[in-house]
Structure 1
């Protein structure tokens, strides 16, 4: 799809002049107007556009909030309160930014689950998937540092606990912790570092998003069948078909987002973060933001030594391993069929995995004691088991359902009359080879 000739035709002398020197309008037209997309895309494929919209919102509100925030332990908490009370529409900016972070993660989790369900990571889209994982890592770093900036109780103690885990890393652990903190404890140098990085990282995310979209346009969009485009009837122009679908998805997403911003703006936060940070008073329960809770549960699931690896280092390795394993998904899944629609056993295990991920999030908010500890351990094993055992074995043992001959057949139930035309068809012999 990416190799088709451009259909852009400048309509004015100025347009022709610009196109001959810097064909930016041609690039936009070819990428977002005439770009062919599979005709069977559903609303699960709207989250890319939603994520782009949320990134722009986070950058725009963050720039304005940065104009009024002071990264100093003596004034940080008060500067946030000043934004809420004295800055024109400051309350709205802050609630858009704080709830925007949560909805950014909601959209990215749904985007990841969609990729896992429809096999969007399979060749030739491995690099596309890896770039998405890099964006996710940058989002996690940005979210963690942003959580510290309000300088509430949970901000301070969350930063203290999470950065303390770096000390478990042999040889360089303490050096890494001090580099992050700017000293030996969470203090003003920590706020300065976190504020600078929190401001910078969204622009790095935007840069990787550009690479992500570029890689998408090179390999072409996947679709719910997991079948590649075979002839022109399999595709439709991006505008108006995909843009209309994306617009509907964005509107529905923004309605829910607006409800949280205007009616329950603090629902996804923590009450202790409205109390100024006090190093002498530890909260009864220290938890990170909700979007880190599954990994927090995995971190606390390791309560025993594993040979020379003590429990603390084992927990850190398990937590980072839970993220690192995502990078290897294209090679862990050995099935030749992409979409779970045609893989009955994979579909079952996928939904069990999704339920287990939600359960890990629930466990992450619970204390690491009593029955919760063995539940965390079992859920952690199930999490890694899906990637390291289920994916490789199912590809070898599962018998998929019959695939349609083309995207058009999947939509219409039959091949179109021009499927065997000179414009890009696949012969019946080729189809038999592909089905075998």
Structure 2
């Protein structure tokens, strides 16, 4: 897949370029994460697009400077450190205005990329479906519209990243606002068509005789590893932020069910760029139509609680907050294999006291059977017994009832079948729509 830094040219960059990560720590902000954890995440984002993070710094920002965000002395310190470690890229873990970005580049004599540009570059590299690429390109155009960066060669590209860090087009093509607006309008039309198609697919799945389970969670929580274990698939599962972008659906086996469908989704992240909110919403539409949501948490991570809060906020924004009219939810406390001794015992005891939590290790498989049994129980929860009458020719509907519910009794009387079946409220609603 082609990306913005496979090539050199102009001030373009190569994979492995040395980078300095800088965190502006604003005292006015309330953030439950530690400075070290926030630096770790910023470095992880940079490494996700193959930058070589050689140094990390944080600065307390009491009064953000409109021109540079950082104070004059801080900019000089960043520049000196970048020169000392030979960093060609300065990654600022915050959203920068176009003016701030340009002034920081002038002050540090390095290429500067902010958190928004970094995440957009990752999404540009990872988007695998037509919809994903369109969403990311639209977000990128929205981001770059105010920056007048002279690099629009990505408008002709079909795949890959979008060269936010420069490329051969940087000195070839002057930014054209009209081109951007026209392209954005075309993308929005294409996305509307894609959205209609996805809605049709979801409607067909609702009529299908299998429940859908959606995995959600903070990026790098282990969703794809769990997905691969449960489905015996080989979806990309790396120790990288945003290893999965586009939704992936596979068949799984559950106790008492003919089969079920498991959906892996994009990882959530704190301070998601506003330009990508729409892309997240489109990707997560699959979650809203699921029968059950599995919230996968890295319970070993020091900021697990803060990550949970970020995920729940996005779900609430989608109208899937706790207690709202949405799918039931189960927390999956992953990576327990990394916890030992008293801490492990405390985690297990807390999970045992809660009905909405289960512990496991997606890497080793510990707890996999317990998870499958709990998911099956939840899918059957609230089920009611229904007495149905079918014609003898409706064998397909009988098969649907066997695979989606629990058939307690069935008998033939002439040209009719009488069936007693236990169905969940969701499946009863689906049955009525068949």
Q: TM-score normalised by the shorter chain: which range applies?
A: under 0.3
Q: Give 1 or 2: higher strand fraction.
A: 2
Question: Quick one: higher RCO (CA 8 Å, sep 6+), 1 or 2?
Answer: 1
Q: Give 1 or 2: higher helix fraction.
A: 1
**What TM-score results when the alignment is normalised by the length of structure 1?**
0.27
**What TM-score results when the alignment is normalised by the length of structure 2?**
0.27
